[in-house]
Amino acid sequence: MKLLNFVIIRLTLCLILGIAFAHYLNINFSISLYITIGLIFLLGCYWLFLRHKINRSPYFMLLAFLCMVGVGINTYNIKNGKLKRRHYTNIYKGRESVTLLFKIEERLKPDTYNDKYIVSIMAIANKTALGKLLINVKRDSTSSILPVDAVLFTSAELQIIQRPLNPHQFDYRKFLELKQVYHQLYLEQTQLLFISDSKTSIYGFADQWRTTINEKLIAAGFKNNALSIINALLLGQRQTIDKSTYNNYVNSGTIHILAVSGLHVGIILLILNFILRPLLYFKHGNFLRPFIIVTLLWGFAVITGLSPSVTRAVTMFSIISIAMHLKRPTNIYNTLAISAFFILLVKPVFLFSIGFQMSYLAVLGIVSVQPILYKLWQPKYWVLDKPWQIFTVTLAAQLGVFPISLFYFHQFPGLFFISNLVVIPFLGLILGLGLLVIVLALLNIIPNSIVVAYSFIMDCLNGFIAWIAQFEGFLFRDIPFTLPQVVISYFIIVSLISNYKIKSFRRLILCFIGIISFQSIMIYNNHKTKDDAFIVFNKSRYTLVGQKNGNRLFLYHNLDSIKKPTNNVIKNYKAGELIDGISTDSLQSIYQFKNSTILAIDSLAVYKGISFKVDYILLQNSPKVNLDRIIDTLKPLKIIADASNYKSYVKRWKMTCKRRKIPFHYTNEKGAFILK
């Protein structure tokens, strides 16, 4: 663990610890601030009295680390908008419509029905305010894209972002909370009043640049498919990529090339170094070249949207460029720690971003594991050496993100090494030509032959990715993986690398402890899956009922054959509950679970003649029934309505149950009904 001898690495770890404490423990801002100020004061006094003996005092470093933990806590709390007096949640408490003045901050990927934007509030109910909202603007033939920095006025009711309605579903609400977004609006374009569309921020100017570039590329003759890939590869915008194309990149293990990150920034850095090489012949060339390179890299980062991955990459390469200019030796781990330290000071919530985590873990995998893999075989010939280098880099990066990738996505592309072995060598050419294409398009001097050639390259790239993605047998899906397994997996990886570099019995014991711990977690998970459950899932316009017996799921549904294989509700539950197998059947009229009986009443409304005790009633497919009569006849303990019913029917049933003082569970409001 010699890496921990670097002070910046230890300080960064303490900063991360502080941010994590603030996020999960909800620490009081005032208390943490006063304690941190006190610790910093003590640290200063300690340094004044013992500055000549400071290197021999372990308490000084301990106090410094505690101060940094406090800095992490306060950094997170300072960025927490809800703690500010002018935040809209501290002004607006009601549910009625309210006037809003806001500015477009970020454009998100649209869904089938709405364009989506993150906006920053300027005023609410005629009071100056701050905070962020998710705006959903209904799409129609006359709607237009709202530009970043546009100021608009509207009157609407703030709506709470819906929590996940099914077990183990992606929590979009929590995802938006990390962006400091707590409410949303549903609007039509006619409800928006434009106040101003002038550019007031770097994000607005960057959006204007991207719009200009796209207009020029369209005028030059680039079509939708090629244009969307150019936007992703060079401008960091993936909103316009076709869903099937995006899934092909995910399934082939090459989605990372569509997210501007260290690979792209590194290639652009090499291109800039080559282009600006003549500056070294001038008097101040050694200063000018790194200054221009760093400026251009940050300009590129701004244009691509300052995502966590590109921010990390540009910060790291900026530090490397400056160190090279100063002719200082650099340690990659030290450089990574410095970049993470400054990024988290400015944007502490990046710590919980999947892109930020995977970006750093991939780089750590490359710098730690790739040299070990490369030493296993060192080809003498260039034609073999270069593919082997790419293969080992790809394998090391995949090893770095493998545990966390399984935890978040529950799948692993088995052919990632083939797709990356082909794509990565040509990525430099694709990016270099792409930059040339953009420059020529902006100057209106791009020949049609270059447009045709580059479009052909994009089509070939998409075609190859689609060909790899079609081998679904090599895509391992629905792999259950828990957070403790992630932690232990990285413990095992670090232990193995450490033992390889410095062989010792103690390190070997740590490896075995990690392996035994991983096996223990798997045994515990298998034991936990033995719990039985009855579930009425929430699925719009359909009925989906599950009965879990141990690690098997018996599924009753009315899904068609097209929707069932791609249904995320089933896939998420299977991975989250460690289900080994699923058996399917048509919907039943009666379900028996332990000592409870569930009667399902569908559109046929057949329930008369029931002679046994009914504990729960499931209303599905909008039956025309008199709920009062059913309650009097069957005397159930609870009424359940799934998302296959008309909302007007549900509203009437809900009022009836409230009047009769019987619990009512509507899956589209309360989420899936689970009986254990």
Question: How do the domains of the chain map onto residue ranges?
Answer: 2-78, 88-200, 208-476, 483-528, 533-675
CATH of domain 88-200: 2.40.50
* 448-489 pLDDT per residue, tens: 899 899 888 888 888 888 888 888 777 787 788 888 999 999
Residues in the chain: 676
Predicted pLDDT of residue 62: 84
Structure tokens at 103: 């500015």
> Chain centroid to CA 596: how far?
40
Phi, psi (rounded to 5 degrees) for 377? -155, 120
> Chain centroid to CA 64: how far?
33
Do 430 and 233 contact (CB within 8 A), yes or no? Answer: yes
**Residue with structure tokens 């034609």?**
383
Do 642 and 135 contact (CB within 8 A), yes or no? Answer: no
The alpha-carbon radius of gyration of the chain (Å, integer) is: 29
Predicted pLDDT of residue 305: 79
Residue type, 88: Y
Do 55 and 42 contact (CB within 8 A), yes or no? Answer: no
Predicted pLDDT of residue 535: 93
CA distances from 411 to 245, 477, 572 (A): 18, 4, 11
Write out residues in the chain with pLDDT < 70, as ranges: 1-6, 50-57, 94, 324-330, 529-530, 561-566, 607-609
Predicted pLDDT of residue 397: 85
**Residue with structure tokens 């939708």?**
224
362: nearest Cα among 409, 396, 325, 315: 396
Predicted pLDDT of residue 1: 44
Predicted pLDDT of residue 110: 85
CA distances from 196 to 98, 103, 573, 649 (A): 20, 9, 46, 44
